[in-house]
Structure formats: C-alpha cells, structure tokens
Amino acid sequence: MSVLLLLLSVVCLLPVVLYLQLRWKYRHVLATAGKLPCPPTWPLLGNALFFMGDITSITKNIIKFTTQFEGLFSIWIGPVPIFVVSDPSDVQIILNSSNTLEKDDVYDFLKPFLGNGLLTAPVPIW
C-alpha cells in the first residue's frame, strides 16, 4: 500500500514541480507580460478559447485584439505568454535586433525530426 501511495504522490507532485520550475525559469518574461494590456483570460486556459473554432472566427478575434490593444499586447495560451506586436515600426526594430535571433525552446521539439535544417538551425549556423 505504501508503494502505491508513494507512486500516487509522485504522479500528483511532478506536474506541480515542473510548472513551478517553468514559472521560475521564465519569471522575467512573465513579469513583463503581466505589465502589458491583455484580453480577459481564463484560469489555466488563458486566451486559448478565443483561438478555437473556424479560421474566420479566429481571424475576427485577432483583428479585434489588434484594434483594441494598439501596438504591443500579450495573449496567453495556457500559462505561456505570447507577445503581439502590431505597429510596423516596432516590428522593424525587433526584426533588426541581433538579440532576437535565437529561436524559442519550442523549436527544440522539432530537432529530432528535422535536424539542424532551415527551421531549427541555431544562430551560429546561419
């Protein structure tokens, strides 16, 4: 019985520990995202419900958000913030910066399948 209880405890605590570890790793990003305007969010889901449905409704929501929050705002897909830049001059500054060349950790998921190809290559290869 104690082995089952230990296993159940590990299964329950592991997601909490992983979530807290991610929150700590990205605490500066989360602090910045918290200061930006944002559409109303749902606990655990963020703004994900706005991006469900057909492409027409998703596009309408994106247009609504970019007109409501001009310039820079954040949306949340679950616990992950996504920064949205709608001002072309701000986009130009971001794309011309050498600080934004590194790809996000999400691309690491594709490396076993694609290798260091066009989509997943690190900055030194470019």
Q: What is the mean pLDDT of each run of 10 residues along the chain (126 residues)?
A: 84 89 85 87 87 91 89 87 89 81 73 75 72
Can you tell me the distance from the alpha carbon of 90 to that of 96, in angstroms, rounded to the nearest whole number?
Answer: 10
Quick one: pLDDT at residue 98? 74
Quick one: pLDDT at residue 44? 81
Quick one: pLDDT at residue 13? 92
pTM for this predicted structure = 0.66
Q: What is the crossing angle of helices 2-25 and 27-35, to 10°?
A: 60
Quick one: pLDDT at residue 26? 82
